[in-house]
């Protein structure tokens, strides 16, 4: 127990002791609307992207251009819901314990789906609060003041989430994912400021989504800390597509105390549609980066996840699923010299410490 806070975290089924979380995926989605990020496919293969559902014959093209299929981006329909449910069961069977659901306002968060999946699979699901990037928000949301943003997040953490149907009282367990682009927009700055102020009051956990520029993580942390936020309670997500150069990664790790999250495991396509100027690293390269952080004594700040937010990454649609890290990556890490104690540190102890309020 730390300070005056109980050693628990709020899940969609109520409070759970941190010691009961088990292996934890700290950045996933169970339902999300990603259509805002649609990108037209190359002309010579556009016929493979015009269908209203995913077909095995097209998956090879969709893995290369995942944001060119509207059906793939509709990660909230009945087909996605059934596939997600099965996939979470497989995560449980593989030894998984907890999924931290990062769908914030602007991403079609589905609290009831989280509850139903958690009840039927016995996997802990922790919902987030906060706001995603400005381009996903309504005009009225973009006009919100910092105080209004603060108040909504406070309510969802301390009372119940606004989308809870039928009088349900389900609390968020952290703030995230807090989204920003590059350069950071005014609305996004207000959200980061409100997040820092609220974190300072409640001592809660925070997860940030940085813009696709190597300067973005540092600028987010600057705004957050100036507002009073504790960097040791913050996750910087998507490091694998943001700090591409090893020197950038190590400099960031040396200069900051936040958690460093590699959360695109399973994304093996080097071409990154949302930022074609970079090469997306492979899983093997992600493991090498984590090994480098281990060598520098920073493994206590590393987290791993998949950030599944499109259908093609689910097992039902030919993908790797939520169990990929447990089934495939962790055994590979053992083969590369990681010990079981180090695996448990990343997958169990680090998430537990992130959620500890102090």
User: Are 27 and 307 contacting, i.e. CB atoms less than 8 angstroms apart?
Assistant: yes
- Dist. CA 207–CA 324, nearest whole Å: 22
Chain centroid to Cα 334, Å, comes to 24
**What are phi and psi for residue 203, nearest 5 degrees?**
60, 30
Helices (H), 227-299: 239-242, 246-255, 283-295
H-helix or E-strand spanning residue 3: none
299 burial (CB, 10 Å; 0-12 / 13-18 / 19+) is: middle
Residue with tokens 């169970």: 30
Provide the pLDDT for residue 189. Answer: 98
Half-sphere exposure of 171 (CA within 13 A, CB side): 15
Provide the pLDDT for residue 173. Answer: 98
> What single-letter DSSP state applies at residue 279?
B
Task: Give me the count of residues in the chain.
Answer: 358
Provide the pLDDT for residue 53. Answer: 85
Provide the pLDDT for residue 3. Answer: 52
10-residue mean pLDDT series, the chain (358 residues): 74 98 98 96 91 87 96 96 98 98 96 97 98 98 98 97 86 98 98 98 98 98 98 98 96 97 97 95 98 97 98 96 98 98 98 94
- Dist. CA 5–CA 305, nearest whole Å: 27
The architecture CATH gives domain 8-355: Alpha-Beta Barrel (3.20)
User: Are 280 and 241 contacting, i.e. CB atoms less than 8 angstroms apart?
Assistant: yes
User: Are 135 and 211 contacting, i.e. CB atoms less than 8 angstroms apart?
Assistant: no
CA angle 126–132–137, rounded 5-degree value: 130
User: Are 66 and 59 contacting, i.e. CB atoms less than 8 angstroms apart?
Assistant: no
Task: State the chain's maximal CA–CA distance in angstroms.
Answer: 61
Residue 272, SS3 per DSSP: coil
């Amino acid at each position: 127990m730390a300070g005056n806070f109980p050693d628990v975290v709020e899940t969609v089924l109520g409070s759970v002791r941190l010691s009961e979380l088990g292996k934890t995926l700290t950045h996933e989605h169970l339902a999300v609307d990603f259509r805002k990020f649609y990108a037209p496919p190359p002309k010579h293969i556009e016929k493979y992207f015009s269908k209203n559902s995913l077909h095995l014959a097209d998956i090879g093209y969709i893995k290369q251009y995942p944001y060119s299929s509207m059906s793939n981006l509709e990660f909230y329909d009945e087909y996605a819901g059934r596939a997600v449910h099965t996939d979470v069961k497989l995560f449980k069977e593989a030894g998984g314990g907890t999924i931290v659901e990062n769908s914030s306002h602007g991403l079609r968060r589905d609290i009831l789906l989280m509850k139903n999946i958690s009840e039927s699979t016995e996997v802990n699901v922790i919902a987030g609060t906060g706001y995603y990037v400005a381009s996903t928000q309504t005009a009225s949301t973009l006009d919100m003041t910092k105080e209004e943003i603060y108040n909504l997040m406070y309510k969802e953490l301390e009372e119940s989430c606004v989308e809870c149907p039928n009088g349900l009282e389900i609390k968020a367990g952290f703030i995230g994912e807090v989204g920003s682009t590059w350069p950071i927009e005014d609305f996004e700055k207000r959200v980061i400021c409100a997040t820092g102020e609220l974190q300072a009051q409640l001592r809660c956990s925070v997860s940030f989504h940085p813009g696709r520029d190597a300067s973005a993580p540092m600028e987010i942390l600057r705004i957050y800390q100036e507002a009073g936020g504790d960097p040791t309670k913050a996750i910087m997500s998507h490091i694998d597509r943001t700090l591409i150069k090893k020197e950038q990664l190590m400099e960031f790790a040396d200069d900051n105390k936040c958690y460093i999250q590699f959360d695109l495991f399973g994304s093996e396509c080097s071409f990154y549609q949302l930022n074609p100027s970079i090469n997306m690293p492979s899983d093997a390269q992600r493991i090498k980066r984590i090994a480098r952080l281990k060598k520098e004594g920073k493994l206590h700040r590393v987290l791993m996840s998949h950030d599944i937010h499109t259908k093609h990454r689910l097992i039902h649609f030919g993908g790797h699923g939520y169990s990929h890290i447990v089934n495939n990556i962790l055994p590979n890490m053992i083969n590369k010299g990681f010990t079981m104690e180090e695996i448990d540190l990343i997958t169990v102890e680090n998430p537990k410490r992130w959620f500890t309020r102090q």
